[in-house]
Amino acid sequence: MKKSQLTGLAGMAIIIIGTFLPYITVGEQSFTMFSLGGPAKTVAILFIVLGLLSGVFAFFGKGKAWWLSILNLVVSGLAALLILLHINKLGKEAANVIGISVYVIAMGAIIGVVSSIMGIMKK
C-alpha cells in the first residue's frame, strides 16, 4: 500500500471519529453532533459520507486510476471548506464553546487533501 493510500485512509478515519467527539459545550454540558439531533446530526452524516468517499478514492486512486486522486482532492477539499465555514459560524455564536469535534474533522479533511496531492504527484 502506498503512503498516499495510508494517509487517505487515516484522514477518513479521523473525520469519522471526529463526528462522535464533543461538538459544543454549553455551560457544563458537552454535546456530540448526534446527541443534538436535527441539523447537527445531518452535518455529522454529511461528514461521515464525505470521509468515506475520500477514503475510498484514496484507497483505489493508484496506478492507472490516478484520476480518483483528483476526485479525492475535490471531496476532501469540499469537506475542509465546509468544516472551516462551520467553525466560523459556530465561533460567532457567543453562548457556545466549540468542542474538539470540528477541529478533528478539519484535521482529517486536510490530511485527505494532502493524501490526494501525494497521489496526484505520484501518478
Strand pairing partners for 29? 26
CA gap 46, 121 in Å, rounded: 28
Question: Are 77 and 35 in contact, with CB atoms under 8 Å apart?
Answer: no
Other C-beta atoms lying within 10 Å of the C-beta of residue 68: 21
pLDDT of residue 96: 67
pTM for the whole structure: 0.87
pLDDT of residue 62: 72
Other C-beta atoms lying within 10 Å of the C-beta of residue 85: 10
Q: Residue with C-alpha cell 453532533? A: 33
- What is the mean pLDDT of each successive set of 10 residues along the chain, which is 123 residues long? 86 94 84 86 92 89 78 90 84 73 92 88 71
pLDDT of residue 49: 94
